[in-house]
């Protein structure tokens, strides 16, 4: 009888979350074909039936995404109140931190509540090496005494069909995709930056196909079924889509599945934008991508695979006064944007063209090196 792993995944609407699950299953299929993969939604409670399936498996794997948050358990992973009810080892695979400011200094003061530490203690006590997706996350855990982790990168970095192929700079760049971030929802300055970049880049790539890509869904009915209490998130995205229509700029919604993301970006020659998993996918299939950092997830990716990455902001105001103002509901912009963002994008792309992919080739080498650690992690699972 084939043995199994139970994975808890977080794919609701965001295309990147679906890509994590899709790529993780491919990795298991290739490296651990001796295990059946049983997939449960992380946000759903573990009932008795699921608990029995988990306890019959070889391991419970908490999968990917920015799941290392203050209320990781039970906020992200709806595990039983009594973790001792889970009899099989618990491990993480490719999880990451979630920090807006995203500096290395922040890794030493990262908040995790008592229940989340209880889960991390349990994971450590089970004695199986776990996996994180970047070095910032690794340092968060090491700073708190958790030394049972490998930095394997996100599962989405690894497209097994392209992994060993050499990087070839494209003969021509005909289709450019600009992925929209999420920081504009609460920041007027980041919204202005995104709109300014879109207008300038559309003009600079005049005569080429230029489209803006939404990774979160625009349909309010579909979105509301995935995310309760985030109506403003969807409203702001639709307002941005309306602005694009006014500017006669094409856009596309790729939310809801890994296949939509894969199909769309497979047709793109150059990605520029804020979505980390657009950047991860493009690098995984050896295509050109420039990531604009809007939080610690992007900064973590830069430290993991280098490549073409610029800071979208120079500072995020997160001092004591700013936190009090935020709690009091005072509306203010906490981002100080990078005033050189357009200049940096131009310079990096020009250099990449002139060198036929200097930074992109560096990314490919790091992805292959990290894959060795991902393979070790998977091979050493129970």
> Would you list the DSSP string of 236-254?
HHHHHHHHHHHTT-EEEE-
| Higher per-residue confidence, 45 vs 321 | 45
Q: In the chain, what percentage of residues exceed pLDDT 70?
A: 97
Whether residue 1 has pLDDT greater than 60: no
- Judge contact between 226 and 18, C-beta under 8 A: no
What rounded mean pLDDT belongs to the chain? 95
Band (pLDDT 50/70/90 cuts) for residue 226 is confident
Q: Give the pLDDT confidence score for residue 211 in this predicted structure.
A: 98
Per-residue pLDDT at 178 = 98
Instruction: Using only the alpha carbons of the chain, give its radius of gyration.
Output: 21
Mean pLDDT, range 164-173, rounded to an integer: 93
Q: What is the pLDDT of residue 230?
A: 86
For residue 253, pLDDT over 70 is answered with: yes
Of residues 217 and 226, more confidence is placed in 217
Euclidean distance between CA atoms 237 and 218, whole angstroms = 7
**pLDDT at residue number 320:** 67
Q: What CA–CA distance (Å, rounded) separates 278 from 288?
A: 11
**Alpha-carbon gap, residue 154 to 174, rounded angstroms:** 29
pLDDT of 321 strictly over 60? yes
φ, ψ dihedrals at 138, nearest 5°:
-60, -45
pLDDT at 224: 86
Confidence of residue 228 (pLDDT cuts 50, 70, 90): confident
Q: Which of 55-59, 316-320, 331-335 is most confident?
A: 55-59
Domains in the chain (CATH in brackets) are 3-157+368-379 (3.40.50), 175-364 (3.40.50)
85-138 per-position pLDDT tens digit: 999 999 999 999 999 999 999 999 999 999 999 999 999 999 999 999 999 999
Strands 335-337 and 313-316 come out as antiparallel
Q: In the structure encoding, which two tokens stand for residue 166, read together?
A: 């050499």
Mean pLDDT of 171-176: 97
Give residue 328's pLDDT: 65
Question: Which range is least confidently modeled, 107-111, 151-155, 263-267, 320-324?
Answer: 320-324
pLDDT tens digits for range 6-64: 999 999 999 999 999 999 999 999 999 999 999 999 999 999 999 999 999 999 999 98
Confidence of residue 330 (pLDDT cuts 50, 70, 90): low
pLDDT score of 318: 77
* H or E element at residue 92: strand 90-97
Q: What is the pLDDT of residue 40?
A: 97
Q: Which of 1-5, 63-67, 156-160, 295-299 has the lowest mean pLDDT?
A: 1-5
Q: Is-contact 177 217, C-beta < 8 A?
A: no
Q: Which of 245-254, 315-324, 344-353 has the lowest mean pLDDT?
A: 315-324
Greatest C-alpha distance within the chain: 61
Calpha distance 229→240 (Å, rounded): 20
User: What span, in angstroms and rounded, lies between the C-alpha atoms of 132 and 127?
Assistant: 16
Phi first, then psi: give them for residue 281, nearest 5 degrees: -60, -50
- Per-residue pLDDT at 185 exceeds 90: yes
- Give the pair of three-digit tokens for residue 326: 């935020």
């Amino acid at each position: 009888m084939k043995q199994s792993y139970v994975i808890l995944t977080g794919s609701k609407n965001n295309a990147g979350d679906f890509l994590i699950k899709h790529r993780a299953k491919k990795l298991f299929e290739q490296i651990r074909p001796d295990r059946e993969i049983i997939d449960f939604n992380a946000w759903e409670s573990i009932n008795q039936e699921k608990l029995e399936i988990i306890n019959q498996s070889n391991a419970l794997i908490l999968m990917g995404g920015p799941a290392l948050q203050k209320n990781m358990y039970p906020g992200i992973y709806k595990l039983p109140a009594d973790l001792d009810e889970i009899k099989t080892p618990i491990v993480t695979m490719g999880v990451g931190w979630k920090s807006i400011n995203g500096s290395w200094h922040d890794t030493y003061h990262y908040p995790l509540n008592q229940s989340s530490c209880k889960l991390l203690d349990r994971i450590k006590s089970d004695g199986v090496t776990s996996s994180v997706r970047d070095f910032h996350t690794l340092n968060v855990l090491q700073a708190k005494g958790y030394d049972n982790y490998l930095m394997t990168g996100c599962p989405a970095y690894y497209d097994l069909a392209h992994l060993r192929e050499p990087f070839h700079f494209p003969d021509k760049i005909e289709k450019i995709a600009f992925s929209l971030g999420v920081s504009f929802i609460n920041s007027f300055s980041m919204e202005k930056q995104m709109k300014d970049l879109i207008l300038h880049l559309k003009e600079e790539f005049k005569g080429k196909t230029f489209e803006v890509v939404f990774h979160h869904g625009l349909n309010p009915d579909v979105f509301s079924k995935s995310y309760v209490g985030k109506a403003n998130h969807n409203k702001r995205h639709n307002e941005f889509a309306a602005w694009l229509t006014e500017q006669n700029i094409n856009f596309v919604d790729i939310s809801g599945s890994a296949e939509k993301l894969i199909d769309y970006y497979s047709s793109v020659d150059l990605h520029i934008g804020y979505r980390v998993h657009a950047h991860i996918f493009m690098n995984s299939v050896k295509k050109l991508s420039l990531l604009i950092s809007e939080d610690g997830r992007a900064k973590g990716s830069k430290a993991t695979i280098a490549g073409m990455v610029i800071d979208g902001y120079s500072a995020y105001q997160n001092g004591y006064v700013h936190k009090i103002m935020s709690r009091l509901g005072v509306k203010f912009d906490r981002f100080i944007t990078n005033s050189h963002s357009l200049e940096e994008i131009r310079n990096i792309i020009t250099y990449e063209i002139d060198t036929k992919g200097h930074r992109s080739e560096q990314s490919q080498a790091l992805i292959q090196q990290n894959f060795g650690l991902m393979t070790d992690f998977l091979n050493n699972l129970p």
